[in-house]
Structure 1
Amino acid sequence: MFGNLGDMGKLLEGMQEHAKKLQEELESKTFSVKSGGGMVEVTLNGKGEVIDIAIDDSLLEDKESLQILLMGALNDAYKMVEQNKQQSALGALGGLNPFGEK
Structure 2
Amino acid sequence: MFEGFDMSKMSEMMGQMQEKAKEMQEQAKNIEFTAKAGGGLVEVTANGIGEVIDLNIDDSLLDDKESLQILLISAMNDVNKMVEDNKKSQAMGMMGGMNPFGS
- Give TM-score, length-normalised by structure 2: 0.83
Runs of 4+, deviation exceeding 4 Å = none
The number of aligned residues is: 99
What is the distance in 1 between the residues matched to 2:23 and 2:59?
40
Runs of 5+ unmatched residues, structure 2: none
Q: Distance in 2 between matches of 1:15 and 1:48?
A: 21
Instruction: Answer whether contact 1:27 1:45 (CA < 8 A) is retained.
Output: yes
DSSP 3-state at the match of 1:48:
coil
Give the equivalent residue in structure 2 for 1:98.
100
| 2:50 corresponds to 1:69 | no
Using the size of structure 1 for normalisation, the TM-score is 0.84
Match of 2:33 among 26, 31, 34: 31
Gaps of 5+ in 1: none
Inter-partner Cα distance in structure 2 for 1:19 and 1:95: 14
Q: Structure with the greater relative contact order (CA < 8 A, sep ≥ 6): 1 or 2?
A: 2
Identity value in percent = 57
